[in-house]
Amino acid sequence: MTDQEYPAGALAGKRIIDLTRVLGGPYCTQILADHGAEVIKIEPPQGDEVRDWGPPFHDGDASYFIGVNRNKRSMGLDLSKEEGRALLLRLLEGADVLIENYKPGAMERWGLGYEDTLKEKFPALIHCRISGFGADGPMGGFPGYDAIVQAMAGWFSVNGVAGGDPTRLGIAMVDMGTGLYSAVAILMAMSEREKSGLGQYIDMTLFDCAVSLMHPHIINYNLSGDVPEPTGNAHTNLSPYDTYRTKTNDIFIGAGNNRAFAKLCMEIGDSSLAEDPRFINNADRLIHKDDLKAELESRLMKIDGGEICERLLNAGLPAGAIYDTAQVVEHPHTLHRQMTVQKDWYKMTGIPIKFSRTPGSVRMTPPKYGAHTREILGDYGLSDSETQALLDAGVVLETRRK
Greatest extent of the chain over all pairs of C-alpha atoms, in Å: 83
Tell me if residue 164 falls in helix, strand or coil.
coil
Phi, psi of 349 (to 5 degrees): -65, 150
Write the CB contacts of 400 (distance below 8 Å, at least 6 apart in sequence). Answer: 45, 46, 47, 51, 76, 369, 370
DSSP string, 89-138: HHHTTT-SEEEE-PPTTHHHHTT--IIIIIHHH-TT-EEEEEESS-SSST
Closest CA to 132 of 97, 104, 93: 104
Within 10 angstroms of residue 401's Cβ, the number of other Cβ atoms is 12
Catalytic residue among 48, 96, 146, 175: 175
Closest CA to 130 of 176, 84, 168: 176
CB 166 within 8 A of CB 160: yes
CA distance 81 to 30: 28
CA distance 128 to 204: 7
Long-range CB pairs of 294-298, under 8 A, 24+ apart, other chains included: 296/240, 296/244, 296/253, 296/264, 296/268, 297/244, 297/245
CA distance 38 to 71: 8
CA distance 348 to 362: 10
Question: Exposure pattern of 255-283 as b/e (b: 16+ CB <10 Å)?
Answer: beeeebbbbbbebbeeeebbebeebeebe
With residue 333 as reference, give the H or E element that holds it: helix 332-336
Sign of CA dihedral 193, 196, 199, 201: negative
Task: Mark whether 203 is an active-site residue.
Answer: no
Which residues are marked as active site?
175
